[in-house]
Amino acid sequence: MIRTRLVRGFLAVVCVAAAGAARADGAFPDEFQLFLPADHPSRIVVAANFGLLESDDDGATWGFICEAEAGAPGNLNLYQMGPTDTLLAEFFGGVVRSGDEGCVWDRAAGSVAADGGRSVWDGAFDPLTPGRVLVLGAWAPSGSAIFPSADDGRSFGPPVYATGAALTGIEFSSSSAGVVYATGNEVTQDGGGALGFGPPFVVAGADGGATWGVPVDHPEVAALLGTDGGVQVGLAAVDPRDPRTVYLRLTVEPTGPDYLGVTRDSGKTVQVLFRSPERMTSFLVAQDGTLYVGTRNGTGAGGIFASQPDGGFAAVEQECPDGGICDLHVRCLGERMGALYACADNWQDGFALGRSTDRGRTFTGLLRFSGISGLAACSGSDLQSTCQATWGALAQLFGIDAGSAAGEADGGAAPAPSRGCACSTGDGFALAALLAALGIARRRGK
């Protein structure tokens, strides 16, 4: 899964400390994230920019959990799911954790809670060592650091790596125990004090992040991309078969384009694999080794691109339900048991999440916003008092009959299946503010 944070937002947080960061909500992959737990083959969790959507019956019914249920004082930036199905959510003020996939949340303690809440913008679970988590956060007086947890995100210790640069992404290897990588950009400052993008770098860690090598700067990347401007780096994925291979998102600032890069020697050298026709929203290394890149399709050049045997990439021609060729406006990509999943534009594509069994040529819609059953059925919870106002606003926006507190969808859809958890209470979103935010989101094509 691609994860990145805008370095500009980082600079605002850790260097200027005066301007608030823009809402990101899993900006890479776009505003949506997809979790397909291997130990629950019928469970699907979609993290949208307005909360969690969860299904326990392979997409037949969906329940909603609002962001306010997490109790964070602001919007959540990015969700992570661990090998034990623990959910973490980062925000510019710390980390919150749920052991039951979104019903009950607690604030993480320790270093990420220092000084009233440390700005945190990315993190990763170790897939081979349950309980181990690393997150990226601000580090005083200016810079960023990597903070470790050994208790599944309940608490975090002192930094295992600190730098004056802007860390942008972190990811563990799933094939070699303890191997982890981080990406970032050096920070430059001109004569007038304006901050900017310096060379991108990759740094490799071992022992689960307890030890780190020397970061390798790559000033040559700008020349590879044919630009004399700044290039922002993001960590797309560590190859699931080769722990020395790391895929990178390279963005020519300030407006793009995006490139898919790779290092095959743990960060020492970087190659460019693919120039995206627009901003990349998602990336996937499939089980058969195919590399998939997702885009919003703003240029009409294609929504999904797949690597080819000759080393190039080609657009996947998707067949429309009514015939002809159509390209999805992709927001996320995932795979389970050989099937390809894609988050799409609910209004333009006709579904928000679809599944393909023919490598992306055709998709069956699994999630449509108008078919959300209601609030997730967390037994014995106060979820309704926390999320009912938010749910009412969503129902109005999505054209759902919000109905009773059970939240049955228009057309008699079954209520969301019970998930057997006890949810906590928190402050709900103001209805007017939520409608305004969602109105903006809809105009942006989410």
Specify the CATH number for the domain of residue 112. Answer: 2.130.10.10
Residue 137 shares a structural domain with residue 219: yes
Domain assignment present for residue 67? The answer is no
Residue 316 shares a structural domain with residue 247: no
Q: Which of 311, 333, 367 is the last residue of a domain?
A: 367
Provide the pLDDT for residue 380.
55
Domain assignment present for residue 47? The answer is no
Residue 12 shares a structural domain with residue 114: yes
What stretches in the chain show pLDDT beneath 70?
A: 1-30, 191, 193, 298-301, 321-325, 379-381, 402-446
Residue 321 shares a structural domain with residue 388: no
Residue 393 shares a structural domain with residue 358: no
Provide the pLDDT for residue 383.
86
Q: Whole-model pTM? A: 0.85
Q: Measuring CA to CA, how many Å separate 77 from each of 38, 59, 89, 121, 436?
A: 24, 25, 7, 7, 19
Residue 425 exposed, middle or buried by CB count within 10 Å (0-12, 13-18, 19+): middle
Residue 319 shares a structural domain with residue 397: no
Residue 250 shares a structural domain with residue 104: yes
Can you tell me the distance from the alpha carbon of 326 to that of 302, in angstroms, rounded to the nearest whole number? 8
Provide the pLDDT for residue 100.
87
Residue 39 exposed, middle or buried by CB count within 10 Å (0-12, 13-18, 19+): exposed
Are the C-beta atoms of 178 and 197 separated by less than 8 Å? no
Provide the pLDDT for residue 9.
45
Number of structural domains in the chain: 3
Domain assignment present for residue 147? The answer is yes
Who's near 169: CB < 8 A, 6+ residues apart? 3, 4, 5, 122, 136, 182, 183, 184, 233, 234, 235
Domain assignment present for residue 131? The answer is yes
Residue 150 shares a structural domain with residue 89: yes
State the CB neighbour count (10 A cutoff) for residue 286: 17
Q: Which of 213, 242, 269 is the last residue of a domain?
A: 269
Residue 308 shares a structural domain with residue 414: no
Domain assignment present for residue 300? The answer is yes
Mean pLDDT in the chain?
82
Provide the pLDDT for residue 257.
86
Q: Domain of residue 345: give its range.
A: 275-367
Distance of CA 153 to the CA centre of its chain: 17
Provide the pLDDT for residue 28.
57
Residue 253 shares a structural domain with residue 123: yes
Domain assignment present for residue 71? The answer is no
Return the exposure string of 135-163: e unless at least 16 CB atoms fall within 10 Å of the residue's CB, then b: bbbbbeebbbbbbbbeebbbbbeebbbbb
Residue 223 shares a structural domain with residue 115: yes
Q: Which of 247, 269, 291 is the last residue of a domain?
A: 269
- In this predicted model, what pLDDT tens digit does every residue of 145-176 receive, in sequence order? 999 999 999 999 999 999 999 999 999 999 99
Domain assignment present for residue 339? The answer is yes
Provide the pLDDT for residue 179.
98
Domain assignment present for residue 170? The answer is yes
Residue 148 shares a structural domain with residue 16: yes
